[in-house]
Structure 1
Amino acid sequence: MPIYTDIADELYGPGRGTVPGGVKCYTARSGPITLTRVQISRPGLERPAGRYSTLEIPSLAVVDDKDEKYVSAVAGEVRALLPAVGPVLVVGVGNRRVTADALGPRSAGGVLVTRGLAPQNEAASLGLREVACVSPGASGATGIPLVQLLAGVVRAVKPAAILCIDSLCTSDPARLGRTVQISDTGLCPARPESGKCITRAMLGVPVLAVGIPTMMEADEAVGRPGFVITPRELDSVVKKGSNLLALAINKALQQKLSIAELCYLAN
């Protein structure tokens, strides 16, 4: 049976069996945070070629979403995959009306948008990077596929990179609401028919993705298709997870600002 997961280290990480050729894994622990990096260097595997960083932390339902050690850990992994300069387009992917799929739009709501606030030479003199942000919503509500909407935005903004935020699927219930994954492979869901696939090949610019697993397919457990498992504290996971991701993305993009300053400005 196929394993439906967006988390690369659930396929290739420590304890997952023989690692195929073209895949390298690295794991380190610092306090309550475990970092696993998976580098896939060839096509044809279950996840696209590229780099995946997975941070395991205590449950997002109970952590302090402004805790510097978690914010800085996520921000550091995001920053490492971003181009050093140039505008960044942040995209909140998902449906705000469905809690398990609302992580992207809610995170996007906390992103510090700097594009258009001041002439870019003034923003640059203040150490601010140009950031634009959109949350297109579900394609069923707009009638326009997500990638078509973003193609128009890309032509207008001309970003150096796109950073997508989305809810992820896991194959391990222990990962629900406890993991953050950052990748440079674009947004490539385990189920491509979801309509959320966004890649560099489609839009012509690098596409990063960051997300938290909020659901797990439960077909095998209940014997019926279409069932999913979510964390018991789903509301808290999405609320605190979106706050953490927004703050970490702001920190990755605006390195000269402190976490306190970012909290003030974003609100």
Structure 2
Amino acid sequence: MRLTDMADELYAAPACSALPGGVRVATARHDGVTVTRVEIAREGLERPRGRYVTLEVPRVSVLDERDSSVIEQAAAELRALLPPEGPVLVLGVGNRRVTADALGPRTVQKIFVTMGAGSRLPLPGIRPVAAVAPGVSGATGLSLQQLAGALVRELRPSALLCVDSLCSSEPERLGRTLQFSDTGLCPAQPGSRKHLAAARLGVPVLAAGIPTLMEAREGKDLVVTPRELDSVIAHGAALLGSAINRALQPRLSIAQLCWLAS
């Protein structure tokens, strides 16, 4: 079995010639971006039940936050998975000190936060948003589940959006693909402590990420990361942050959101 967080790598052709029962896959192409939607309607498969959307940009070496077309498409796909209203908590999962695992914390720095004592909001049409990167348990003494649970109980958001680095089985997709899902944060890596699910937290849990690593074919203890990883994380976090901001605040333009989040 391939180690991957990407649902389309498991179920989209040519990876899967015959789809398992309860799985539907649809692929479309818009402005050079390939959008693949995977819907899993039953339990017991390699990925949890729910909806997955991937956006792949093959024409560039890495994702670019200046690509407004990709941002708009990504925002539209994410918006379709989110509750239509209510506060949203964005959780940057990962270790900011480890480059391949820093996507979540780096993305949180780009989020337009509209909750808190220092905010001049709420304003009409502006959705309440909070963002935090809780760090790793070794530094805090608390597990991700404990921290997320405490934040959810305090803020009572309509949804929790987790941002994390992903694992792909295809090296050419590293740094060039986005995935959104409404299935919770469920990493494919065995023994991962990053699992966050709606059943545990009591609110919908969405996940967003970019593949930044893959399992080496020579051995399961090795990982492969893309060249220029620092650039992949920097540009990927900026683009993903812009897409999340646009999904949450559709009344504001990308330019306005970039200025407000800076």
> TM-score, normalised on structure 2?
0.95
Structure 1 stretches of at least 4 aligned residues deviating more than 6 Å after TM superposition: none
CA contact (8 A) 1:66 1:247 kept: no
- Find the aligned partners of 2:212 and 2:45 in 1 and give their Cα distance: 24
- Find the aligned partners of 1:128 and 1:36 in 2 and give their Cα distance: 30
Of 145, 148, 169, the residue aligned with 1:147 is 145
1:225 deviates by: 3.6
Partner of 2:186: 188
- Find the aligned partners of 2:87 and 2:59 in 1 and give their Cα distance: 33
- Find the aligned partners of 2:165 and 2:109 in 1 and give their Cα distance: 15
- Find the aligned partners of 1:183 and 1:63 in 2 and give their Cα distance: 19
Could you report, residue by residue, the CA deviation over 1:23-63 in whole angstroms, capped at 9, with x for unpaired residues? 00000011220000000000000000000000001477555
Could you report, residue by residue, the CA deviation over 1:64-95 in whole angstroms, capped at 9, with x for unpaired residues? 31321011011111100000110000000000
- Find the aligned partners of 1:99 and 1:38 in 2 and give their Cα distance: 29
Partner of 1:83: 83
- Give the count of matched residue pairs: 261
- Find the aligned partners of 2:117 and 2:260 in 1 and give their Cα distance: 12
Partner of 2:169: 171
User: CA separation of 1:93/1:63 partners in 2, compared to 1, >3 Å: closer, same or farther?
Assistant: closer
User: CA separation of 1:59/1:214 partners in 2, compared to 1, >3 Å: closer, same or farther?
Assistant: farther
- Find the aligned partners of 1:82 and 1:104 in 2 and give their Cα distance: 18
CA contact (8 A) 1:42 1:49 kept: yes
RMSD of equivalent CA atoms: 1.6
- Look up the equivalent residue of 2:68 and give its one-letter code: E
Partner of 1:244: 239
CA contact (8 A) 1:164 1:209 kept: yes
> TM-score, normalised on structure 1?
0.94
User: CA separation of 1:64/1:213 partners in 2, compared to 1, >3 Å: closer, same or farther?
Assistant: closer
Partner of 1:72: 72
**5+ unaligned residues in a row in structure 2: which ranges?**
none
Q: How many percent of aligned residue pairs carry the same amino acid?
A: 57
Partner of 1:233: 228
Alignment of 1:1-267 (within 5 A): 2-16=1-15, 17-58=17-58, 62-116=62-116, 123-125=122-124, 127-218=125-216, 221-222=217-218, 224-267=219-262
- Find the aligned partners of 1:235 and 1:22 in 2 and give their Cα distance: 39
**5+ unaligned residues in a row in structure 1: which ranges?**
none
CA contact (8 A) 1:59 1:177 kept: no
- Find the aligned partners of 2:135 and 2:118 in 1 and give their Cα distance: 28
1:116 deviates by: 2.3
User: CA separation of 1:47/1:204 partners in 2, compared to 1, >3 Å: closer, same or farther?
Assistant: same
User: CA separation of 1:119/1:71 partners in 2, compared to 1, >3 Å: closer, same or farther?
Assistant: closer
- Look up the equivalent residue of 1:217 and give its one-letter code: E
User: CA separation of 1:111/1:59 partners in 2, compared to 1, >3 Å: closer, same or farther?
Assistant: farther
Answer with 226-235 or 63-72: which moved more: 63-72
- Look up the equivalent residue of 1:14 and give its one-letter code: A
